[in-house]
Structure 1
């Protein structure tokens, strides 16, 4: 049997042809990645060395050509395994995910990454890793070996473990002694990864266990999180005052903290210039940041367009922190009285009438369609004919090709993967689908374009354009009064 390496395979067996096409895509992606690194006289970061975000080779990983190649490589490799492997083994391997996540959460809570960082590349015997937390070293070794088999940590000798590129990304950046002495502050001021892994391995995994029961519930009134833990859903939890938050479970507090760290890592950055064109708002125009939190989103916009007047709306305790943040980060706007901090519940009538733009960043994904329509209706009631509604949210792509009605929306069309990959790049884009299921567990949802069109229409808005942010599913979704 003969094959054309980069062309169409010469074969009548469809399965073999698919395997070869997928292998070709992987080979081409590797050639692209190696070419970019060779041009820079560098090599791709090795797996069994700790992650160093300041390493120039890591920066090369953000090169657009490398990112595109990595997406194709991951999609093709996953589809190649799914195609070549027998289906029963594939189905059984899915069950690895639950204990793997549980082991990862345990390693993070036991501060294993930080202990190994201090031990250095030679690693540390599991007895010494287990000593500060006084856990069973044999059980910990079994868990770390399971993780190392899945390329998280590196077993350099029997029962001797070291960090690798993946495990070290969970580093909380603090001495291990501090983490053990002040466990209540372990996640304070850290990067998002550890907080999120501990959240996923705690309340999220517990709520996922109730997913089937929730689907089968004819009333469907409780989110999986509510059914599993008895705590408020994501959107409701965000509205608790400090006194109420102190009475919530540890899992609920951890979720709130992890979400805060995630938001810190995913600041607005350059998304303003790459998405909606804020310069089209009139000089002196009013931008209302609904559910603003610290107001970082509107602050980024105001810095670039200082003629805009900004109204940050949220709950009292958050707004006090927002005021301090603006005073420190953009005192000129604050001193000119061009920014206002307004306590407001977005389910109630919008107090700012005739604003030029309403901005909601990662607000609607916390809520069901019914609640989202209520939020957007309140804004539509207060809008003028030229008001723009700008949602910054992730968009869930269909696995199949989008219909013509969706393609007609400017910006709706996204790049599709080359055959025989799934049009949405398969496993390379699976994070958004996991996020959607996670948001369902918390009482909300991520939405497809069709979903956004529907809630806009029912709330009195018309979806007129989508601005895509290169490399991610986060978009600016723009509407005007219908």
Structure 2
């Protein structure tokens, strides 16, 4: 296929996918007629009451057919852009992408989104925005409107804001995503409570724009420690330690924050109390990576016998268990996590979940998955059992290096009965080419490519799947961990005594649902 044929094929993919999306919207009439796709220029604030038509249009963006078509559009547009844009400008855009991340962090930290919410579609001049930021910050040194305009204009260039008139800016659908919903009075009087009671997206921006961004900047230093710049950095670190050589820095995070502690231990230092609270709220925002309800249909829960017990390993406050307990009343769930987590977990659930806890259908147990599982488990309503029907491990394996994951899964295998199943829920990264990996035992549900057959798209849908690979590098930089391919997950499971029997993923998602049985 010639280059022009490839470009026209990508162009055709965009048109076809757009037609699919339009068909979904045209066949789902709203209160006043056919629905229109949400406009980039119109903010959608989650804490504001919208018209039923706008709510219906926004809800349709999560329709599986719309998600699948949108992913093909994003993949094709990015590949088309990479093909025709001058390589030097592509390079500049990539090498300076941290500028955009820093500006988005500024947008959140300065409360600019909340300020612009009060201005409406007409927007606000940078002089007034700067003055409002100063008032909220109780600043002694005023923010320079000229510098502010340059930050906001870069954001507008990347479609994160609108410049409606010279130096006049307004929110759009993207910037509205990080609106906390708090009033300016609340932000002025108690800025430390900005993320309380929110969906956590703003907190996620604050965390990734600080810890994650700084850590990833040290990725090359940590992986190539003999390079000149890394040697200079080590000399600075040694000087700060009064000549004492530091212990081995295992992650870029260690270099960035000059600590030998792991990220989670570092968060628990007294001086990082606010960061730890922010991390918890950010994890609420991180749920947007995957719809929690997808777990309801991902595994054959309905086939488990009455009163079957599911151990939610490292289950936090029990978010997954609560969703499943409501969907499957015949099952019982025991949520395992660190002691200080399970102590407060019951108090964090509202009245609609209280009966699940009171009845014992969801219970909590302090346990570290790096220690052996108990030989006997006391489960409310089910008595004492020697092993559960299912070990559910959701969002845990990507936080740990391979050897730790094997240890975690080995403890579960040692306590399992022959009939015990293991369900792993984490991102599964597809290859950027068609997967030709040859295995002795093919895994049902494994896919060779996410792209339509015969299309010029990358097998992993390129830019449409980039979120997973970005998170992967964040795990490497912060925790010496990673997201994994299906074959990497399968190898770790087998090393721990489990055989993967199947996998699936939700439409348009990189999150995988992988089942295994004892070997």
- TM-score after normalising by structure 1: 0.90
Unaligned runs of 5+ in 1: 1-12
Whole-angstrom distance in 2 between the partners of 1:255 and 1:325: 16
CA spacing shift, 1:384–1:149, aligned 2, 3 Å: same
CA root-mean-square deviation: 2.4
Aligned with 1:329 (options 346, 352, 355): 352
**How far 1:254 sits from its partner (Å)?**
3.5
Whole-angstrom distance in 1 between the partners of 2:75 and 2:304: 40
Aligned with 2:316 (options 288, 293, 317): 293
Whole-angstrom distance in 2 between the partners of 1:245 and 1:329: 35
CA spacing shift, 1:174–1:368, aligned 2, 3 Å: same
CA contact (8 A) 1:202 1:251 kept: no
Task: Classify the secondary structure of the residue corresponding to 2:418.
Answer: coil
Give matches, 1:358-369, under 5 Å.
358-369=391-402
The alignment covers a number of residue pairs equal to 464
Whole-angstrom distance in 1 between the partners of 2:496 and 2:373: 14
CA contact (8 A) 2:17 2:70 kept: yes
CA spacing shift, 1:308–1:34, aligned 2, 3 Å: closer
- TM-score after normalising by structure 2: 0.84
Task: Classify the secondary structure of the residue corresponding to 2:305.
Answer: coil
Deviations 1:117-171 (A, max 9, x none): 1111111111111113322211111100111111111111111111111111111
Aligned with 2:447 (options 399, 413, 417): 413
CA spacing shift, 1:362–1:406, aligned 2, 3 Å: farther
Whole-angstrom distance in 2 between the partners of 1:111 and 1:100: 17
CA contact (8 A) 1:268 1:297 kept: no
Whole-angstrom distance in 1 between the partners of 2:450 and 2:178: 32
Aligned with 2:413 (options 380, 389, 392): 380
CA contact (8 A) 1:306 1:333 kept: no
Whole-angstrom distance in 2 between the partners of 1:327 and 1:26: 44
Whole-angstrom distance in 1 between the partners of 2:358 and 2:173: 46
Aligned with 2:468 (options 432, 436, 442): 432
Unaligned runs of 5+ in 2: 135-142, 227-246, 378-385
**How far 1:330 sits from its partner (Å)?**
3.5
Whole-angstrom distance in 2 between the partners of 1:475 and 1:104: 29
Deviations 1:21-53 (A, max 9, x none): 111111222222333333431222222221256
**How far 1:174 sits from its partner (Å)?**
0.8
Look up the match of 1:7: none
Whole-angstrom distance in 2 between the partners of 1:377 and 1:246: 34
Task: Classify the secondary structure of the residue corresponding to 2:499.
Answer: strand
Deviations 1:84-113 (A, max 9, x none): 122222111112311111011111111111
**How far 1:64 sits from its partner (Å)?**
2.8
Whole-angstrom distance in 1 between the partners of 2:251 and 2:276: 14
Matched, 1:371 2:404: yes
CA contact (8 A) 2:307 2:330 kept: yes
Spell out structure 1 runs of 4+ moving beyond 6 A. Answer: none
Whole-angstrom distance in 2 between the partners of 1:307 and 1:330: 16
Look up the match of 1:154: 162
Deviation larger for 83-92 or 138-147: 83-92
Matched, 1:48 2:50: no
Whole-angstrom distance in 1 between the partners of 2:157 and 2:441: 43
**How far 1:404 sits from its partner (Å)?**
3.8
Deviation larger for 439-448 or 463-472: 463-472
Deviations 1:382-421 (A, max 9, x none): 1111111111111011111222429920111265313211
Look up the match of 1:21: 9
